[in-house]
Chain A
Amino acid sequence: MSDVQEFQTRPTDTSKAESPLEWSLHEQKSLPHASNPGVTLSEKPFLGQLIVRGGAIVLDEAVREVMDMALPAKPHALVSDDSGERSIQWLSPDEWLVIVPGGEEFELEQKLRKSLGQSHFSIVNVSGGQTVLSLKGNRAREVLMKSISYDVHPQAFPVGKGVSTVFAKATIILRRPEENGWELVIRRSFADYCYRWLLDASREYGVSVVR
């Protein structure tokens, strides 16, 4: 058993939590709504996010045992479970981002720590530090082409890939879990900036924001 102190960061009482995008959405009198939107933007707030670091072999064993998923070993690989709600993404040769539905992350962390025992690893709960934006629609790729220097052509960026790169000078993690949907994992402090940038960049295609 690991001797690291763990604690539940998610409040268990009924106190109101605000997602990183809450302020930006609140500031707008009404959310953008296009009749025939080329781009649909929505936040997936309050997901459980863990940064898991360590050797690939021991982590793979633990993840298989606890989550019943294989750890993606290839660079930039992104694997999801059948429901698409739990995903593991390769970030660097010894670092992975695990995203699970909100509320599951603490139990998952405990299980992983128990399974990993005394091996050399680190698990950090980053749920409060970043949020996931979902960008959908047939013009979503064109919005990304304007905003990042990374190649988002389907040949270079197939479904099941995720990279961390520069988005309008901010650092983000860009993922493509499905054919017509992209996910942007953005930092809390950059949430308003990225949101406004996305709105501005997608205005010409018609944009709807869904809460």
Chain B
Amino acid sequence: MFYILCPYCKEHREEEEFHPRGQAHLMRPEDPDNTTDEEWGDYLFFRDNPRGIHHEMWVHSVGCRKFFNITRNTVTYEILETYPMGEQPTITADDPSVRHEQGAQVADGGWQTVGARPENTALNEETSS
């Protein structure tokens, strides 16, 4: 169970009072009539699925019924911060300290071991057989 700090109620509440509403900070294309199909498709259907820091939108559906954002680590499930709509996160995946701390980060590391940094990267390198 999460124990989530609602930035509007300014209190920690049980997860059962909240609903996740997917990726945060999605921007609707400024001029929908003149966007390419690819851009519009990306906006409508394609979502990030990162390993590590993820910014999500949640709604306090039983309490104040406000939407807000959560920065969450998808590996450890740790909630790093919550912040109201319209604000930018202070913790992002580009933050070097976060990258070091998390060990297993987004796909560019290429590690395939789930949940932990492998003892050496050679384990994950392709071997010629």
Contact = CB atoms under 8 A, between A and B. Distances in A.
B39 interface: no
B17 interface: yes
A164 interface: yes
A174 B102 CA distance: 40
B8 A165 contact: no
A38 B64 CA distance: 32
A92 B8 contact: yes
Contacts of A164: 62-64
B64 A166 contact: no
A92 B68 CA distance: 13
B62 A149 contact: no
Give chain A's interface secondary structure class.
Answer: strand
Interface centre among B8, B14, B63, B66 (most CB of A within 10 A): B63
A165 B64 contact: no
Give chain B's interface secondary structure class.
Answer: loop
Interface in B2-41: 8-11, 13-14, 16-17
B117 interface: no
A60 interface: no
16 contacts: A75-B9, A75-B10, A76-B11, A92-B8, A92-B63, A92-B64, A93-B8, A95-B64, A150-B13, A150-B14, A163-B9, A164-B63, A165-B13, A165-B62, A165-B63, A171-B62
A44 B68 CA distance: 35
A83 to B, nearest CB: 28
A50 interface: no
Interface in A58-106: 75-76, 91-93, 95
Contacts of A150: 13-14
Nearest to B84: A93
Nearest to B16: A166
Contacts of B9: 75-76, 92, 163
Contacts of B66: 92-93
Contacts of A165: 13, 17, 62-63
B65 interface: yes
B11 A166 contact: no
Nearest to B7: A93
Interface string A179-200: 0000000000000000000000
Given A150-B14, A163-B63, A165-B63, 13 more contacts: A75-B8, A75-B10, A76-B11, A92-B9, A92-B63, A92-B64, A92-B65, A93-B8, A150-B13, A164-B64, A165-B13, A165-B17, A166-B16
